[in-house]
Structure 1
Amino acid sequence: MEKIHVGLCGLGTVGTGVVKILQDHKEHIKHKLGCEIEITKVLVNNMEKKRDVVIKRDWLTSDPAELVDDEAIDVIIEVMGGIEDTNKLLERALENKKHIVTANKDLMAVHGQKLLRLAKKNNCDILYDASVAGGIPILRSLSDGLASDHIQKIMGIVNGTTNYMMTKMADEGLAYEEVLKEAQDLGFAEADPTADVDGLDAARKMTLLANLAFKMELHLEDVDVSGIRNITQEDISFADSLGYTIKLIGIASMNHGKAEVTVEPTLLPKDHPLALVKNEFNAVYVYGEAVGETMFYGPGAGSLPTATAVVSDLMEVVKNIRLGISGSAHIDPQFDRQLKEDKEKYSRHFIRLDVDDQAGAFQEITNIFSEHEVSFAKILQLPGDQEKTAEIVMVTHKISREQLLMSMAKLEGLGVVKRLISHYRVDGEE
């Protein structure tokens, strides 16, 4: 096979990067693969739009059928986004024996397992390394480089927008609303930032990571998710005074055959590698039984970093075609889906309370925690915003989520507690 023909769905930021890399690195890629890669068709919404890349006019089409039904096209690269319509398009492509490369984490988190099974049935490859952490080859590292290990835990900063915002809030003392506007002005955040700031984008990526790492079919709805909207400068200041940095962290762990996946604001020790990751960069920290601790770091988004991952996947597809092993990479999950119950989910917690500043108040609060066998590693008590009030900031030892929820429920009915100001997970101190 002297030439591989590619259909490209989408010519936005990532699609433009893919075209540039295939053009600029044409000879290098041909030397590595032993054959040439040629874009045959590009699916776009607007045929007349000016592009940031030199492209043949007869490549462009607004009809998906010209890609997925064209017998001459070997591989479909999907970088246009969307879920349901895109899923139908890729299903049709697989049924027509076309290999798929996608950067669509939303699609893969929702329909990925079904698409992988369909690809295997049709002896096709579907690779999606670019869907998580942009230019960082984390999915391939989990499926290949760390394949022989037993992965116990993954912690990651997998959303560049929120990491940029948290960096600005911590380093410059800016409020959430200010940093959100700045992120939107710079193009890091969308006009509707919900998927980023509420943690949904990170949850989709953590679903994909957990599926690969634990060899278990987990679903997006299995992820406990909370975002960064309610983080205040006071939270950041208290965390700092206790030796922590707040980040939006995705955490996946598996113990005794049961998995837990969360995305939530998390306090990390200031010297933890993830605490040092700034601005829009991503990083994924992996704990393996044999390898120990490893970290993958780099740009989590952008035209060329993400496009590099897409083209690397494309080259892997071409290698498989030439070797005659297409469709053999996917392996069905090894383990049945089992999730930890609240009594099996253990972590430390940061708790901030507004209480009446009166004799015996602190004792009443500690009695409730003692009742549920919750002990503390750190405690601060400071004057509150109003007269005769105080703020209590506590960091627990490792407790179960069940212990935490039961304690919180009791605190809400306690007269001396005016309100629970904030509560965050504490991690990274194993």
Structure 2
Amino acid sequence: MSAGPVLAGPDGRIPDMSAQRRKGGEVMAPIRVGLLGCGVVGTEVVRQLQTQADDLTQRVGAPLELVGIAVRRAKRIPEKAAELGVPESLFTTDSAELVTRGCDVVVEVIGGIEPARSLILSAMEHGASVVSANKALLAEDGATLYAAAEKHGVDLYYEAAVAGAIPLLRPLRESMVGDQVHRVLGIVNGTTNFILSRMHETGAGFTEALEEASALGYAEADPSADVEGFDAAAKAAILASLAFHSRVTAADVYREGITEVSAADVASARDMNSVIKLLAICELSPDGSTIGVRVHPAMIPRSHPLAGVGDAFNAVFVEAEAAGQVMFYGRGAGGGPTASAVLGDLVAVARHKVVGGRGPGESAYAQLAVRPMGETITRYYICLDVAEKPGVLAQVAAAFAEHGVSIQTVRQHGHADDATLVVVTHRAPDSALAATVAHLRTMDAVRAVASVMRVEGDLES
């Protein structure tokens, strides 16, 4: 059984160095680790530091000494200490003091913009490398964190910020850095994927599927960050920044959530042997001059590998010049999976502290502009509630032609008051497609534009 992590005593010193001797009798100084946050992820990080202590020492080349755990509420310290089997003296409510305590590495799992940003910058100023799971902060102000890491000669690692346990960012940042990435396409939010999967499987509406996700713990009390696409947009910004060596923030990402996806949309997708997924799409323009970054629900054919990604799983496709298509798949959230990514980063930066050197910093040399969504070439699925009278189809087709949008397929369902037209377009600028939809909404022959959704891949007619 593992002996557990090295824990500092009340005076900040390690009581016994005998277990830390390595070959030749050399005593290796421990790597001092400060932990900001002890929620679901932080708790699992502490557990893994205990259960894997001996192995982690061998992998790092020195023991990992947990010198402090910062929490918000002092009243929870006795309960948390008992749960984890660590002394209460290890906990503190003074996060600002912890990051100046001489830590070699600070692990940040509190989330949000502030105080996380100030704490990370202070930790770096005091010589600590940082491991973070904070997608929102990295997507909003990653450039500031990178600049601080460069200035103070420390590491900034954040594998856990996107797709949980799935090794995704480091392959983009290191393994594929010699290749040219053309496109990153994926499902990066487990909550929305669970909701859409249940809607497809059971025929439930959005509200019912969200209630089920909440009951199972997949959705937060306030699910807006997930269902409105903010979480996925932050992750898309991080992915695009790494893939295309350019600074991309969450504000640059076109975003739509899944709240408007209806049971009827799901049924229509099923009729076309397709499914609906919330996709994060980052792509290089054909001439390599701009990048597009977007998050929105889209219909994809069942033949697409992402169509079979169900429940709360994540999956990401990377398309590169030499590597071709590479897919990453696994659990994208939860205490265990996220802690796995945190510990992987912790081992990496701790090794750098032992042997010297640093990992890669920011690579934003390309400085590619993010093009507006209106210039993105895409396809639409449009469902129209139309009047049943002669010439309606011709009027609808004329509206598409007026805006330079070509129709790939059109199908009519029902008759008289129940008549609907389902149109799938060819690829066109998103601005032209949006203008076509706006035009259709003004036509007397169109009682309502019942649904509009983007399409990725080739749907069955």
Normalised by the size of structure 1, how large is the TM-score? 0.96
Q: Which of 295, 300, 305 is 1:273 aligned to?
A: 305
Question: Is residue 379 from structure 1 mapped to residue 410 from structure 2 by the alignment?
Answer: yes
* Paired position in structure 1 for 2:430: 401
Question: Is residue 339 from structure 1 mapped to residue 366 from structure 2 by the alignment?
Answer: no
Letter aligned with residue 167 of structure 2: P
Q: 1:104-143 alignment to 2 at 5 Å? A: 104-143=134-173
Q: 1:390-429 alignment to 2 at 5 Å? A: 390-429=419-458
* Paired position in structure 1 for 2:188: 158
Once the two structures are superposed, residues 3-28 of structure 1 have per-residue CA deviations (whole angstroms, 9 ceiling, x without a partner) of 10100001110001111111111111
Following superposition, the deviation at residue 226 of structure 1 comes to 0.7
Once the two structures are superposed, residues 143-176 of structure 1 have per-residue CA deviations (whole angstroms, 9 ceiling, x without a partner) of 1111111111111111000001111110011111
Instruction: Give the whole-Å Cα distance in 1 for the aligned partners of 2:393 and 2:440.
Output: 12
- DSSP-derived class of the 1:167 partner: helix
Instruction: Give the whole-Å Cα distance in 2 for the aligned partners of 1:222 and 1:65.
Output: 32
Question: Is residue 250 from structure 1 mapped to residue 280 from structure 2 by the alignment?
Answer: yes
Once the two structures are superposed, residues 6-58 of structure 1 have per-residue CA deviations (whole angstroms, 9 ceiling, x without a partner) of 00001110001111111111111111121111111000122342234222211
Instruction: Give the whole-Å Cα distance in 1 for the aligned partners of 2:96 and 2:184.
Output: 40
Letter aligned with residue 60 of structure 1: F
* Paired position in structure 2 for 1:290: 322
Question: Is residue 10 from structure 1 mapped to residue 37 from structure 2 by the alignment?
Answer: yes
Letter aligned with residue 377 of structure 1: Q
Q: Does the 8 Å CA contact 1:218/1:337 hold for their aligned counterparts?
A: no
Q: Which of 45, 48, 57 is 1:30 aligned to?
A: 57
Question: Is residue 41 from structure 1 mapped to residue 72 from structure 2 by the alignment?
Answer: no
Q: Does the 8 Å CA contact 1:165/1:176 hold for their aligned counterparts?
A: yes
* Paired position in structure 1 for 2:12: none
* Paired position in structure 2 for 1:217: 247
Q: Which of 287, 292, 298 is 1:260 aligned to?
A: 292
* Paired position in structure 1 for 2:101: 70
* Paired position in structure 2 for 1:19: 46
Instruction: Give the whole-Å Cα distance in 2 for the aligned partners of 1:233 and 1:208.
Output: 32
Q: 1:19 to 1:343 in 2, by over 3 A?
A: closer
Following superposition, the deviation at residue 322 of structure 1 comes to 2.1
Once the two structures are superposed, residues 222-277 of structure 1 have per-residue CA deviations (whole angstroms, 9 ceiling, x without a partner) of 11111111111111111111121001111110112201111101111102111100
Q: 1:27 to 1:428 in 2, by over 3 A?
A: farther
* Deviates most, 62-71 or 117-126: 62-71
Q: Does the 8 Å CA contact 1:358/1:388 hold for their aligned counterparts?
A: no
Gapped regions of structure 1 (runs ≥ 5): none
Instruction: Give the whole-Å Cα distance in 1 for the aligned partners of 2:370 and 2:57.
Output: 46
Once the two structures are superposed, residues 270-304 of structure 1 have per-residue CA deviations (whole angstroms, 9 ceiling, x without a partner) of 02111100111111111111111111000001111
Q: Does the 8 Å CA contact 1:285/1:296 hold for their aligned counterparts?
A: yes
Q: Which of 207, 211, 224 is 1:194 aligned to?
A: 224
Once the two structures are superposed, residues 71-107 of structure 1 have per-residue CA deviations (whole angstroms, 9 ceiling, x without a partner) of 2x21110011121221111111111111100111111
Letter aligned with residue 134 of structure 1: G
Gapped regions of structure 2 (runs ≥ 5): 1-27
Letter aligned with residue 57 of structure 2: K
Q: Which of 323, 329, 341 is 2:360 aligned to?
A: 329
Letter aligned with residue 35 of structure 1: A
Letter aligned with residue 415 of structure 1: D
* Paired position in structure 2 for 1:179: 209
Q: Which of 206, 210, 223 is 2:236 aligned to?
A: 206
Aligned length: 426
Following superposition, the deviation at residue 376 of structure 1 comes to 2.4
Instruction: Give the whole-Å Cα distance in 1 for the aligned partners of 2:84 and 2:222.
Output: 28
Letter aligned with residue 85 of structure 1: P
Instruction: Give the whole-Å Cα distance in 1 for the aligned partners of 2:232 and 2:96.
Output: 32
- DSSP-derived class of the 1:274 partner: helix
Once the two structures are superposed, residues 280-337 of structure 1 have per-residue CA deviations (whole angstroms, 9 ceiling, x without a partner) of 11111111111111110000011111001001001110111223213x5203402124
Instruction: Give the whole-Å Cα distance in 2 for the aligned partners of 1:247 and 1:348.
Output: 15
Q: 1:306 to 1:342 in 2, by over 3 A?
A: closer
Q: Does the 8 Å CA contact 2:68/2:98 hold for their aligned counterparts?
A: yes
Instruction: Give the whole-Å Cα distance in 2 for the aligned partners of 1:390 and 1:116.
Output: 56
Instruction: Give the whole-Å Cα distance in 2 for the aligned partners of 1:109 and 1:265.
Output: 21
Once the two structures are superposed, residues 55-74 of structure 1 have per-residue CA deviations (whole angstroms, 9 ceiling, x without a partner) of 22110000113311112x21
* Deviates most, 176-185 or 339-348: 339-348
Instruction: Give the whole-Å Cα distance in 1 for the aligned partners of 2:154 and 2:215.
Output: 41
- Which structure has the larger Rg? 2
Runs of 4+ in structure 1 off by over 3 angstroms are 341-344
Once the two structures are superposed, residues 118-163 of structure 1 have per-residue CA deviations (whole angstroms, 9 ceiling, x without a partner) of 1111001110010000000110110111111111111111100000
Instruction: Give the whole-Å Cα distance in 2 for the aligned partners of 1:389 and 1:362.
Output: 15
Tell me how large the CA RMSD over aligned residues is: 1.5
Letter aligned with residue 162 of structure 1: T
Following superposition, the deviation at residue 389 of structure 1 comes to 4.6
Q: 1:342 to 1:22 in 2, by over 3 A?
A: closer
- DSSP-derived class of the 1:84 partner: coil
Following superposition, the deviation at residue 344 of structure 1 comes to 3.6
Instruction: Give the whole-Å Cα distance in 2 for the aligned partners of 1:5 and 1:92.
Output: 16
Q: Does the 8 Å CA contact 1:41/1:66 hold for their aligned counterparts?
A: no
